[in-house]
Amino acid sequence: MLLRHTPKEITERSALTINPAKTCQPIGAMYAALGIHGCLPHSHGSQGCCAYHRSALTRHYKEPIAAATSSFTEGASVFGGQANLLQAIQNIFTVYEPDVIAVHTTCLSETIGDDLNQIRDKAQKEGKIPEGKHVIGANTPSYVGSHVTGFSNMVKAMAAAFATRTGHKNGKVNVIPGWVEPSDMEEIKRLAAMVGVPIILFPDTSGVLNAPLTGEYKMFPDGGVTVPELISSGDSLGTLALGEWCSADAARWLDANCKVPCMILDMPFGLKATDRFIDALRTVGGVSVPEEVMKERGQMVDFISDMHQYFYHKKVALAGDPDQLIAMVEFLVTLDMIPAYVVTGTPGKAFERRIKELTKDVPYECQVKAKGDMFLLHQWIKNDPVDLLIGNTYLKYIARDEDIPLLRWGFPILDRVGHQYFPTAGYKGGLRLLEKMLDLFLSRRDRDDPEQTFELVY
């Protein structure tokens, strides 16, 4: 798997992806569904697909991922999976008693053309869905988009299935966090509580995929957004959607159908994006920002000021998801670093335009590619090396071959732990990102400096 034979000469590829910087839609849909309390995700396809999706999430979060499958066989693959899904819905409610079954499609069921809404209505009419229980569905064909697209489709399905407008405002603000870690969702809730704005966060995987070990098994952990909260989201004061690719579709649906006004923000990674999130909370909630939040911001600014010389004009290559990369690139520019190469596997020319806009004043021609892959990223690096890599575990091969430090960030992280418990969002999370980058730079100096410049204190 080592990549030492990657050529420096770059040729245009239109029909070949090598080492993709993404995975498939159902993984994102499954992760989003786990953010509903008492929800069992259901993969409408073959057992093999479901096993892969569960495995991908388990390896990242180091938690067992519960999910069901329609278990397509040859017959279902030809004639459709309606009978399988109807039987599955009945079995799941009988055996596991979830509050919600969140169904997502796969390549197979999408190619056949199964209609999830029609199948759910048939299950309702046949009495297979008990009173007070719910089945929701999202179309997530694996052969288009990415895991980010699947996450967005499932979150929009949550809003469409549950949000109800009664005409009586609940005094809360919806926050759609996008695909971030459970620890980041906890941090978003903590910041909102500090500002004094009651929120409905959905989905919310905190307390689900970073739940404590108590010695008592629970099929459905205590965390997650509840069904009553999702229903109430149609009466909120407004919606803050964190990330255009992951969160905007659900927010716009709430705006159009429940008259809940929305703001599309960047994910709150780094100084400026967190500032905008706090200011949006303040504006929509009609409150003032308390001194405790200003103190946390000041600590982050102090760190940047004290350690700026170590970050200045360091060149960085990044791979990951669009919403996360946009916020991270802005953060790097704020630090006077150079985001030289940026690659995402998720399609979208708007992403390339946004990165170009963020880097327009950087003294280096930054290269960006949407629907790109890590092979291209490696070729760019071979032609002009960088000081740091930022991205998921799959970048470790480039890191090893080119001898470049790697900051593991994003999805999936398979060979380290901590991302489930320690946030990188918000001001406290920004401090952690700064500390991790600084440690990589200074550890490299400790390794490489000759004796005459090997100092006790840099």
Sheet holding 238-242, edge to edge: 199-201, 173-176, 238-242, 262-265
CATH number, domain at 126? 3.40.50.1980
On whether the CB atoms of residues 433 and 331 are closer than 8 A, the answer is: yes
Q: Looking at 137, 161, 185, which one is the last position of a domain?
A: 161
Residues 191 and 104 in one domain: no
On whether the CB atoms of residues 139 and 153 are closer than 8 A, the answer is: yes
Strand 338-344 relative to strand 68-69, pairing = unpaired
pLDDT of residue 76: 81
Domain enclosing residue 338, as ranges = 293-451
Residue 458 inside a domain? The answer is: no
Q: Looking at 239, 264, 289, which one is the last position of a domain?
A: 289
Number of H helices, E strands in the chain: 17, 13
pLDDT of residue 14: 83
Q: Which residues pair with 264 in a beta bridge?
A: 241
Q: Hey, is 266 helix, strand or coil?
A: coil
Residues 270 and 369 in one domain: no
Residues 143 and 267 in one domain: no
Q: Classify residue 190 as left (phi > 0), alpha (psi -120 to 50) or beta.
A: alpha
pLDDT of residue 79: 82
User: Which of 386, 397, 361 shows the shortest CA–CA distance to 444?
Assistant: 386
Band (pLDDT 50/70/90 cuts) for residue 437 is very high
Residue 202 inside a domain? The answer is: yes
pLDDT at 427 over 90: yes
Q: Is the dihedral of CA 233, 281, 188, 197 positive or negative?
A: negative
pLDDT of residue 2: 56
Q: Could you count the other beta carbons within 10 Å of the beta carbon of residue 141? A: 20
Residues 400 and 341 in one domain: yes
Residue 129 inside a domain? The answer is: yes
pLDDT at 254 over 80: yes
CA angle 407/32/373 to nearest 5° reads 45
Residues 140 and 241 in one domain: no
Residue 12 inside a domain? The answer is: no
pLDDT of residue 77: 79
Q: Which residues pair with 101 in a beta bridge?
A: 40, 135
Residues 278 and 300 in one domain: no
pLDDT of residue 80: 84
Residue 248 inside a domain? The answer is: yes
Core vs surface per residue 420-441: b (16+ CB within 10 A) or e: bebbbbbbbbbbbbbebbbebb
Residue 3 inside a domain? The answer is: no
How is residue 290 annotated by DSSP?
A: P
How is residue 264 annotated by DSSP?
A: E
Burial class (CB in 10 A: 0-12, 13-18, 19+), 168: exposed
Q: What is the mean pLDDT of the chain?
A: 96
Average pLDDT over residues 48-71: 96
Residues 195 and 335 in one domain: no
Residue 15 inside a domain? The answer is: no
On whether the CB atoms of residues 36 and 154 are closer than 8 A, the answer is: no
Q: 400 vs 13, 390, 396, 404, CA distance in Å?
A: 25, 14, 6, 7
Q: Which two tokens stand for residue 444?
A: 């490299």
pLDDT of residue 3: 67
Report the domain count for the chain. 3
Q: Could you count the other beta carbons within 10 Å of the beta carbon of residue 25? A: 31
Q: pLDDT tens across 363-386, in order?
A: 999 999 999 999 999 999 999 999
Average pLDDT over residues 139-156: 96
Residues 234 and 377 in one domain: no
* Cis preceding linkage at 405, omega within 30: no
Residues 98 and 145 in one domain: yes
Residues 332 and 436 in one domain: yes
Instruction: Estimate to the nearest angstrom the gap between the alpha carbon of 309 and the chain centroid.
Output: 31
Q: Hey, is 104 helix, strand or coil?
A: strand
Q: How far apart are CA 227 and CA 23, in angstroms?
A: 29
Q: How far apart are CA 361 and CA 364, in angstroms?
A: 8
Q: Hey, is 309 helix, strand or coil?
A: helix
Q: Which two tokens stand for residue 63?
A: 């938690």
**pLDDT over 70 percentage in the chain:** 99
pLDDT of residue 12: 86
Residue 35 inside a domain? The answer is: yes
Q: How far apart are CA 202 and CA 179, in angstroms?
A: 11
On whether the CB atoms of residues 24 and 48 are closer than 8 A, the answer is: no
Contacts of 50 (CB under 8 A, 6+ apart): 43, 67, 68, 69
- φ/ψ (deg, to 5) at 335: -85, 5
Rg (CA), the chain: 23
pLDDT of residue 4: 73
User: Which of 210, 232, 233 shows the shortest CA–CA distance to 222?
Assistant: 210
Concatenate the DSSP letters of all residues of 396-416 into one string.
HHHHHHHT--EEE-SS---S-
What does the chain come to in residues? Answer: 458
Residues 67 and 151 in one domain: yes
- φ/ψ (deg, to 5) at 235: -110, 15
Q: pLDDT tens across 86-96, in order?
A: 999 999 999 99
Q: How far apart are CA 6 and CA 24, in angstroms?
A: 25
pLDDT at 1 over 70: no
Residues 271 and 312 in one domain: no
Q: Looking at 139, 161, 183, which one is the last position of a domain?
A: 161
Farthest-apart Cα atoms in the chain, separation: 80
